[in-house]
Amino acid sequence: MRIKSLIVALVGIGVAGGSVYMARGYIADEVAAQKAQQETGIVRVYAAAREIPYGAAIEGHMVTTIPWPREAVPQGAFTSKESLIAGSREDARRAKSGLAQGEIILASKVSNFGEKVTIVQRLGDNTRAMAIQVSASTAVGGFVTPGDSVDILLTQGSGEELGTFTILQNIRVIGVDQTADQQTDRPVVARTVTVEVTPEQGQRLALAERAGTLSLSLRSLENSEDKPLDSVRLSDLLQQTSPVEEEAKRNVVRVRRGVEEAQEVPVEVSIN
């Protein structure tokens, strides 16, 4: 028994010694790598090793490091694993937006440790998130996705007084149904669209939704011009007269001069 205990103790000492040796070697390599980076002006920053979807927890196997010039490191980039990956006593950070493979991970694109990722984090200063009911025909056939900008139109009235009014312009879409991922490009026939509005715009939108039917007009990426638009009514579309004026009828006589072709000459007729 004493020999067996002695052997176990010697094995334990050997394992402990090996662990210490490996740890010292790892630390020495890390110090050497950091020294080399400082000398060459290169730093390693953390990037996505694979595509990371919106809301996913950031785990160690999802990230990698890439070399980057020290003077060009983007603001908010992570240069240490401890600042990005949660430890055993912390809840993970989560992606606030989809991250592409190879994309540098910035602090603005991930939550704090244990922080929930919600649509509220997408809102600007003094803005609100407001949902409106839509259908395939009023939401551009489902091609509206989070991150797009739209104009919002109201159609109301009846008969020739039926009219359409542009009530809001250049409004950002932050959610379609329960999806807020701006990386999605798949058309979805949604029942609700959530938009970012100011408090005043929210009041107008709530009133307009009760007054008639709302439609979305998807804006071009290059279209940044906003200007007042006149309303259009059904009576404007139903022309009462032809848009081209008819040529006034004239009194003419046909005159032939010798062998020349007869010509029409207008004459004035006066009635006494």
pLDDT for 132-178, tens place per residue? 888 877 777 778 888 888 999 999 888 777 888 888 989 988 888 76
Q: Which domain holds residue 108?
A: 47-117
Does the structure show a pLDDT above 90 at 239?
A: no
Residue 172 lies in a domain: yes
Read off φ and ψ for residue 178, nearest 5 degrees: -105, 20
The count of domains in the chain is 2
- 60 and 130 in a common domain: no
Residue 90 lies in a domain: yes
- 132 and 101 in a common domain: no
- Contact 208/162 with Cβ under 8 angstroms? no
- 135 and 63 in a common domain: no
- 73 and 135 in a common domain: no
67's enclosing H/E stretch is strand 63-69
Eight-state DSSP code of residue 234: H
Single pTM value for the model? 0.53
Higher pLDDT, 209 or 231: 209
Residue-level pLDDT at 33: 58
Q: How do residues 28-79 score in pLDDT, each as one tens digit?
A: 666 665 665 555 688 999 999 999 888 888 999 999 999 999 888 999 999 9
Residue-level pLDDT at 122: 73
* Inter-CA distances, 224 with 16, 103, 137, 193, 217, Å: 67, 28, 24, 22, 14
Query: CA–CA separation, 22 vs 19, rounded Å?
Result: 5
Average pLDDT, the chain: 77
Higher pLDDT, 236 or 102: 102
